[in-house]
Amino acid sequence: MKPIIRGLAWVTGDAIDTDQIIPAQHLVYSMDEPEERRLYGRYAMSAVPPENQGLPYGQRPFTAEDAYRSEYTIVVAGPNFGCGSSREHAPFALMEAGCEAVVAESYARIFYRNAVDGGFLVPFETRERLCERIRTGDELEIDTAAATLVNHTTGETFLLNPLGDVAEILKAGGVFEYARRAGFIKR
């Protein structure tokens, strides 16, 4: 986990489920094979309904049609992000697309755990409805230690919920690397 995460925002709405984050037909790709794993980035967020892409300011695809990486580094969403099935492919797909953090009002518990356990991305929670205050394409900066989000496009600063104990797991790169470093499991 980087101390500072900078990049463009991609805004979406409420209850974005894992089938919208990475549609089931794309789960055939290997997560280990480099040529196949990049396809997860190509199809990340590809099934989010058009009315929930770029909320509330109009539709924008997360990854361009012929690209494997997104220009958007930070996803901003409403409540219940990552609901649906328990697949770890969802946070993995976002990571492969270049997403480093998601800021949502709340998460499905399994998505949150998969994001942290795999060290795929940083899941911040917010008490404010930022998906209605931030626009897709705004330039954002998250200070992970201070739990603040600065919108450089508007000049606004927002407080995020602190990461708490999961910060150390994310800094280590996931739960297994954290356990190795902490001496819980042998290298």
pTM value > 0.75: yes
| Residue 110 CA from chain centroid, whole number | 14
DSSP code for 182 = T
Domain boundaries, the chain: 4-181
Q: Whole-angstrom Cα distance, residue 51 to residue 65?
A: 18
| Mean pLDDT value of segment 54-80 | 87
Residue 123, beta-bridge partner list: 102
Tell me what the mean pLDDT of segment 152-165 comes to.
Answer: 97
- pLDDT at position 20: 95
Mean pLDDT of 103-132: 97
In CATH, 4-181 is 3.20.19.10: yes
Instruction: For 75-91, write each residue's pLDDT tens digit.
Output: 999 999 999 887 899 99
At residue 52, does pLDDT exceed 80? no
115 HSE (CA, 13 A, CB side): 28
Confidence check: pLDDT of 187 > 90:
no
